[in-house]
């Protein structure tokens, strides 16, 4: 499999956008670019990594636009890989509007798996599509942030940006 990737800067740090011929399959965030490429290689060890061309760069720029303005409605082709349970959780996450948060427990209830709160948290942690599948909008039942694969400071910043924008509208 060939994966096309680009590295970009954003207000959240460095962003790696990886695409298969079917669509975006990974959006990863970090303070440095090297760990992003290594993580992509680790997740897809059989893949040949190729620098993105102009069309793929255009799609990557849409991802960056979504980071900077979470209220836009992207029309990105996606290539999502996960277990049936993960896919169910991720679909539920995509229905959380910007500026809103829900608890892991609420997601478990929504997908008719009320006892699967920990599994919901694990599905959030396994999400490879930062921002596109907004796992940063999921918090603990007590209102605390919980974890975030890409760092708690990023999660806090993303929620603050969304909350601020929601109050400007």
Q: Are residues 160 and 111 in the same domain?
A: yes
Look at the chain and report how many structural domains it folds into.
2
Tell the residue number behind the tokens 């740090």, with chain if given: 13
Q: Are residues 51 and 105 in the same domain?
A: no
Q: Is residue 43 part of a domain?
A: yes
Q: Are residues 60 and 104 in the same domain?
A: no
Q: What angle do CA 14, 54, 7 make, to 5 degrees?
A: 10
Q: Are residues 38 and 92 in the same domain?
A: no
Q: Are residues 51 and 99 in the same domain?
A: no
- Interval 94-148: pLDDT, tens: 999 999 999 999 999 999 999 999 999 999 999 999 999 999 999 999 999 998 9
Q: Are residues 29 and 130 in contact, defined by beta-carbon separation less than 8 angstroms?
A: yes
- Interval 7-38: pLDDT, tens: 999 999 999 999 999 999 999 999 999 999 99
Q: Are residues 157 and 89 in the same domain?
A: yes
Is the CA virtual torsion 107, 108, 111, 116 positive or negative?
positive
3-state secondary structure of 7: strand
Range of the domain at 49: 2-68
pTM for the full predicted model = 0.92
Considering 68, 95, 125, which residue would you say is the last residue of a domain? 68
Per-residue pLDDT at 169: 57
Active site residues: 135
Q: How confident is the model at residue 163 (pLDDT cuts 50, 70, 90)?
A: confident
- Interval 40-93: pLDDT, tens: 999 999 999 999 999 999 999 999 999 999 999 888 999 999 999 999 999 999
Per-residue pLDDT at 78: 96
Considering 20, 38, 68, which residue would you say is the last residue of a domain? 68
Q: Is residue 77 part of a domain?
A: no
Helix, strand, coil distribution of the chain in percent, nearest 5? 45, 20, 35
Q: Is residue 135 part of a domain?
A: yes
Q: Are residues 58 and 93 in the same domain?
A: no
Q: Is residue 75 part of a domain?
A: no
Q: Are residues 60 and 93 in the same domain?
A: no
Q: Are residues 56 and 98 in the same domain?
A: no
CATH number, position 130 = 1.10.10.10
């Amino acid at each position: 499999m060939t994966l096309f990737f680009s590295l970009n800067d954003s207000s959240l740090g460095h962003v790696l956008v990886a695409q298969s011929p079917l669509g975006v399959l990974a959006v990863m965030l970090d303070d440095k670019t090297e760990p992003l490429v290594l993580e992509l290689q680790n997740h897809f060890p059989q893949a040949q990594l190729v620098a993105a061309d102009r069309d793929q760069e255009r799609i990557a720029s849409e991802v960056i636009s979504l980071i900077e303005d979470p209220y836009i409605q992207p029309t990105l082709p996606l290539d999502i890989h996960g277990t049936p349970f993960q896919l169910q959780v991720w679909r539920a996450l995509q229905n959380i509007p910007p500026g809103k948060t829900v608890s892991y427990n609420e997601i478990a209830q929504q997908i008719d798996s009320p006892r699967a709160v920990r599994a919901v948290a694990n599905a959030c942690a396994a999400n490879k599509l930062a921002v596109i599948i907004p796992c940063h909008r999921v918090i603990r039942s007590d209102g605390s942030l919980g974890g975030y694969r890409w760092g708690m400071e990023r999660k806090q910043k993303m929620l603050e940006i969304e909350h601020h924008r929601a109050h400007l509208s």
